[in-house]
Amino acid sequence: MGCILDKKSLALRGIVAVLVGLLAIVATKFVLDFLVYIFGFFAIITGIMNPGVGISSEKTEIPKWLLLITGVLGILLGIFALLTPLIIAMTITMFIAAWALITGISELGLAFSSKTTPHRAVLALSGIIGVVFAIILVLIPVLGAYALVIVLGVYALIFGFISIFLGLSLGRQKVVVETQTIL
C-alpha cells in the first residue's frame, strides 16, 4: 500500500513544520507548556475511557478493578500535569537524561572494551557527549527542557525546509511512499 504525496502537500507540510519550528524557537515556554498540556489532556481522556471500555465490554482479559484503578491514576496524572506543567517537563527531561547517561556509558564501554571495534574514537566521543548531555540535563533540568524544545524546533525547521524544497522541485511528479500495515 502506498501513500502519494504531491508537491502541494509536501510544500504545505513543510510550511507547517517551519511555523512549528519557529514557534518552538521563539516561544519555547509556550510550546513546552503546550506539549505538557496535550499530555495532561490525553492522560485524563484515556483515564476516563479505559475503565468505561473495560466495564462496558462483556468479556475482557483485564480485571475491571484494574482498569478502574488505571483510569483513576491516569486522570490524577493528567490533572497533576495541567496544574504543574514545569514539574512534568522536568520529569520528562530526567528520563531523557537517564537514557542519555545509559547510552553514553554503554558507548564508552563498547569503545574501550575491544580493540577491534571499528571507529572506537567516534564511539567514545559519542559516549562522552551523551554523558555530558545527561549531566547538564540533571544539573539544569529547566534549561534542559527548554533546550529540548529548541532542538525540536530546529529539527522541525530543517524538516520543513526540506519538504518545501521537495514540494517546489517536484514539478508534476508525485512521490509514492510505501507503507505497510499489520491490519
Is the pLDDT confidence value at 102 over 70? yes
H or E element at residue 175: strand 175-178
**Whole-number pLDDT of residue 135:** 92
For the chain, domain boundaries: 2-178
152 in Cβ contact with 2 (< 8 Å): no
* Residues contacting 23, CB < 8 A, separation 6+: 30, 31, 153
What would the grid cell of residue 31 be? Answer: 510550546
pLDDT for 32-63, tens place per residue?
999 899 999 999 998 898 777 666 766 666 67
Full 3-state SS string of 141-182: HHHHHHHHHHHHHHHHHHHHHHHHHHHHHCCCCCEEEECCCC
**Whole-number pLDDT of residue 147:** 86
Report residue 152's pLDDT band, with 50, 70 and 90 as the boundaries: confident
Distance of alpha carbon 159 from alpha carbon 141, whole angstroms: 27
Distance of alpha carbon 73 from alpha carbon 88, whole angstroms: 15
